[in-house]
Structure 1
Amino acid sequence: MTWWAALGERFGRSRPPLLHIATDEGTGPVVILVHGIASSSVTFRELVPLLVPRHRVIAVDILGFGESPIPEGCEYRLEDHVDALAATIRSLKLREPFILVGHSLGSLIAARLAALPRTRASRRTQVSRVVLVGPPVYLSPSDIGDRWVRARVSAYLRAYDFLRLNKEFTLANAAIIARLLPKGIFELTERNWTPFVKSLEHCIESQTVVSDIAALRVPVDVVYGVLDAFIAAGSMTVIERMRHVTMHRVEANDHLIRPRLARALARVIDADVRADGGAGAGSLSGAATPAAAASVARLDKWTHEPSEEPADPSQ
């Protein structure tokens, strides 16, 4: 393709649609929340009240889900999700860098957005810290040396392929699951079937999250539940070893942001505010500041030790 054709293609594309902003409340350092596949901003219902006293909290519905647009002909590639999110953030005209929190598929979108090269045009989408919640990290099986991890990841990918190819089975079981959860936490219907299958194939089954995280120059926190069924055992080892990544395990929690995980997540976000005195721009060159390290140490102690609260299965 010639440079002229490439330029024409670039400017010939329609502008990314703006996403539905479901929550924009509170004052202070900005935190933007990005939910996962077949869900909505309701994902963060337990987290938002914990953050609002100290932050401006913005929660969006990702492309194709919740109340956001479902563009006809969209392939729901990671680039499509990122472009729509970036356009929405630019429309907010934020003056300061912000903390970007992604859950499940939202964590893949958040990592890619934060990894984009910084330009003058992207100053309105500058990320100071990335928090990934329950990220579904699946390397290509051919790139996994450990045969047990390779087998587990392969099983996940086969299961996702089955769900995509068996629409009636998937929708029927999704309806059963949805009735067991708060409205909006899990929604898979005829309306968002295409965004679901294409996002699953193009973003989760074929993903670049490991290289995106490796390219980041800001601190990254990964928060996940020990009982998370969407995390293949051993699949996150590669990101655990990255110097700028801090891992936080939350006991007795699955993939959903239940009260226990919400409290742990709020502590991770607040640790950044306490250490830096706000969500200012930051670059990473080795370890975190001593204050941040102390906050993280307290969090690790809290999430690893048995809770003093009753072991309520809903938490």
Structure 2
Amino acid sequence: MTWWATLCERLGWTRPPLLHIAIDEGTGPVVILVHGIASSSETFRELVPLLVPRHRVIAVDILGFGESPIPEGCEYRLEDHVEALATTIRSLKLREPFILVGHSLGSLIAARLAAMPRTRASRRTQVSRVVLVGPPVYLSPTDIGERWVRARVNAYLRAYDFLRLNKEFTLANAAIIARLLPKGIFELTERNWTPFVKSLEHCIESQTVVSDIAAVRVPVDVVYGVLDAFIAAGSMTVIERMRHVTMHRVEANDHLIRPRLARALARVIDADDRAGAGALSAAAASSVTASTLTSVARLETWTHEPSEKPAESSP
């Protein structure tokens, strides 16, 4: 053991664990895929074959899920997930910025990582674009003025609280759902119960995704299915108002990355930088952050009027 390792052990410092890299295929611009809660890299089984011909595609299992470590005593805060992902990306020694794609909880992790201040030490984790797929955006009910939106968000939060507090019910129903889906898409067992309940409570129920997206200095694409049951009606409006965010609605698709959503997502990832887009200047980014946080604090009406045409409407 080195002197540094000995010192860290005595002081109780621990390094974030390396995550399991399930997929590393192809050549070209790098795309890193981050799945959601109670899932694994199998989330992207429909997407990877569409990207590999033009990209180096890397898919990881997030902390506590798939084949990644389940550290004893971990609280599975957003910071824990982000630190583990950042450590794993640095271990890849990437030379160029990469596109970071997050699905569900993975989108919250991706947004926080991309929002982190750039330093010399973080040059190996520089993001060129962020693509958020089915992000579960829930503002605090106290920040929502529109009564029906506040009621919908409250219902989601109560449901998540019920799932956490009723383990036998949740595991039994999760087993039924898992049998209806391809292996690895949804897996909730005794093994990952603690990562599930703590990630649900500390990352999804107590989230900062709106402020994180506002702080991102690169273009952000949000892709979601019209039938996504985990997106509360009206919850996307505050994100749609951000100047560096482009919304893509996919018809006839739910929360899972099915073939239709995968094709739309591949087109978004493959697209050239939007005209006039690119990295935001510090001044512009600060303006976006300030104006967005002000709008969140003063949000008095919240209706859902999609500003973009559906990303895909044909079967």
Identity of aligned residues (%): 91
| Structure 1 Cα separation of the partners of residues 147 and 201 of structure 2 | 23
Does residue 92 in structure 1 map to residue 80 in structure 2? Answer: no
- Structure 1 moving runs of 4+ over 3 Å: 1-12, 272-275, 285-315
Deviation of 1:236 after TM superposition, in Å, equals: 1.1
Contact kept, 8 Å, 2:34 with 2:106, in 1: the verdict is yes
Aligned-residue CA RMSD (Å): 6.7
Contact kept, 8 Å, 2:264 with 2:311, in 1: the verdict is no
Q: 1:259 to 1:303 in 2, by over 3 A?
A: farther
2:279 to 273, 280, 283: 283
Contact kept, 8 Å, 2:219 with 2:279, in 1: the verdict is yes
| Structure 1 Cα separation of the partners of residues 181 and 310 of structure 2 | 21
| Structure 2 Cα separation of the partners of residues 259 and 64 of structure 1 | 27
Does residue 39 in structure 1 map to residue 35 in structure 2? Answer: no
Deviation of 1:6 after TM superposition, in Å, equals: 19
| Structure 2 Cα separation of the partners of residues 88 and 25 of structure 1 | 16
C-alpha distance after superposition, 1:200-246 (max 9, x if no partner): 00000000000000001100000000000000000111001000000
SS in 2 for 1:300: coil
Structure 1: gaps (5+ residues): none
Contact kept, 8 Å, 2:217 with 2:280, in 1: the verdict is yes
Deviation of 1:145 after TM superposition, in Å, equals: 1.0
| Structure 1 Cα separation of the partners of residues 188 and 175 of structure 2 | 7
Q: 1:194 to 1:125 in 2, by over 3 A?
A: same
Deviation of 1:293 after TM superposition, in Å, equals: 22
Deviation of 1:121 after TM superposition, in Å, equals: 0.3
Structure 2 length normalisation: TM-score? 0.86
Deviation of 1:13 after TM superposition, in Å, equals: 2.0
| Structure 2 Cα separation of the partners of residues 241 and 40 of structure 1 | 31
Of 122-131 and 299-308, more deviation after overlay is shown by 299-308
Q: 1:292 to 1:268 in 2, by over 3 A?
A: farther
Contact kept, 8 Å, 1:264 with 1:299, in 2: the verdict is no
Contact kept, 8 Å, 2:234 with 2:304, in 1: the verdict is no
Contact kept, 8 Å, 1:39 with 1:184, in 2: the verdict is yes
Of 52-61 and 12-21, more deviation after overlay is shown by 12-21
Contact kept, 8 Å, 2:235 with 2:304, in 1: the verdict is no
| Structure 2 Cα separation of the partners of residues 225 and 106 of structure 1 | 16
Q: 1:282 to 1:2 in 2, by over 3 A?
A: farther
Contact kept, 8 Å, 1:16 with 1:84, in 2: the verdict is yes
| Structure 1 Cα separation of the partners of residues 129 and 60 of structure 2 | 18
| Structure 1 Cα separation of the partners of residues 259 and 266 of structure 2 | 10
Q: 1:273 to 1:92 in 2, by over 3 A?
A: farther
C-alpha distance after superposition, 1:102-142 (max 9, x if no partner): 00000000000000000000000000000000000000000
Q: 1:198 to 1:44 in 2, by over 3 A?
A: same
Q: 1:294 to 1:108 in 2, by over 3 A?
A: closer
User: Residue 218 of structure 1 corresponds to which residue in structure 2?
Assistant: 218
Contact kept, 8 Å, 2:33 with 2:102, in 1: the verdict is yes
| Structure 2 Cα separation of the partners of residues 228 and 302 of structure 1 | 19
C-alpha distance after superposition, 1:167-219 (max 9, x if no partner): 00000000000000000000000000000000000000000000000001100
SS in 2 for 1:274: coil
Q: 1:199 to 1:308 in 2, by over 3 A?
A: closer
Contact kept, 8 Å, 2:36 with 2:105, in 1: the verdict is yes
Structure 1 length normalisation: TM-score? 0.86
